[in-house]
Structure 1
Amino acid sequence: MDPIVDSILSGTAKKSPKLYEVLGCTKDASGEQIVAEYRARVRNLHPDKTGFENEEFVKTKLAYETLSDPGTRKIYDLWLDSPLPITFNEFSANQEAIRQSMHWAMAPKTPMVEGIQENPSTAPPMTKWKDQDRYESESVRKFRDYAV
C-alpha cells in the first residue's frame, strides 16, 4: 500500500505542537498567554539587544505570528489534528481543498437537527411503537409539527 495512506490509516501522522512548545504554552492557551510568553522569551533574544538575529529569535517570532492571529491559529490547530502527513505551509495553502475533501472524515461538532439531545443516555426513554404502530420520538414529533 501507499505509505501516505498507511500513515493516515494507522494514525502515525500525528504532529507535535512545535509552535506552542517554542512559546512554552499549551494548545488551550489564551491569546493573552501567548503574548505574555512571547514577550518574556523575546526580551533577551531581540536583535537590538544581541546585535544579530539568531535562529531562536526567528523561531519565536514565527510562532508568535502564527499563534497570535486567531485565523492562522485555527488553521494551525486543524493541521495538528489532521492525519495528513504534510507540512503546515502545504496545509494552509491548500486548506480549502483539504476541508472540502476531508469533511466526511471528521465528526460534526453540533447536532444536525436543532433541539435534539446529543447524549442518548440522558434522552428520555421513548417507546418505539405507540398509537397503532406509530414511531414516536422527539425528532419525529418536531417533524410532524413542522418544527424542523
Structure 2
Amino acid sequence: MFSTGIILAVTVAIFHIDLSNANLMGGLVMLLAGSLSFIGVGVMGSVLPLLFPERGSQMTHVIIAVLLLISGVYYPVEVLPLALQKMSVYSPATYVLDGTRRALLEGTSTLQLWGYIWPTLLMGVVAIPLGLWVFGLAERYAKRTGKLHRNG
C-alpha cells in the first residue's frame, strides 16, 4: 500500500491530476477488497511453477497479460470484442480498476462504490479457498510424481 501511495503521489505531481474531489478512502477500500480477490488468483497461479518447473513462471505471465487485457488496463472494456467483454465480468481487476477510477477521478462515494466492492469480495471468498484446494492438489501431484526437489 505504501508503494501504491508513492506511485499515486508521483503520478499526480507529474501529470498535474486534480484530486481535490477524490474519495481517497473509497479508493483504499477498493484496493483492499480487490487484494482479497487477487490472493486466490495468485495462489492458483503459483501452481504453474510447481507443476511445470521449467516454464511455469512464464505461464503465469500469460495469465497476468490476459487478466490485464480483459480488465480494461490497455483498452476500455467497451471496445474489446464481445467475447472478451463477457470474460471481463469474471476478472476482479475489472471491478478494482473501475471502482478505483471512479473513487479517485470522479469522487464517487464509498457507498456508491458498493457495486464494485461486492463482486471483488465475492470473488475473494470463492477464489481463496478454491486456490488453496487447487494448490493442495497440485502439491500432492508434484510430490507423487517427483516434481518437488529438495535442496540441502
Using structure 1 for the length normalisation, give the TM-score: 0.30
Whose RCO is larger (CA < 8 A, sep 6+)?
2
Q: Going by fraction, where is helix more abundant, 1 or 2?
A: 2
Which protein shows a greater Rg? Answer: 1
Using structure 2 for the length normalisation, give the TM-score: 0.29
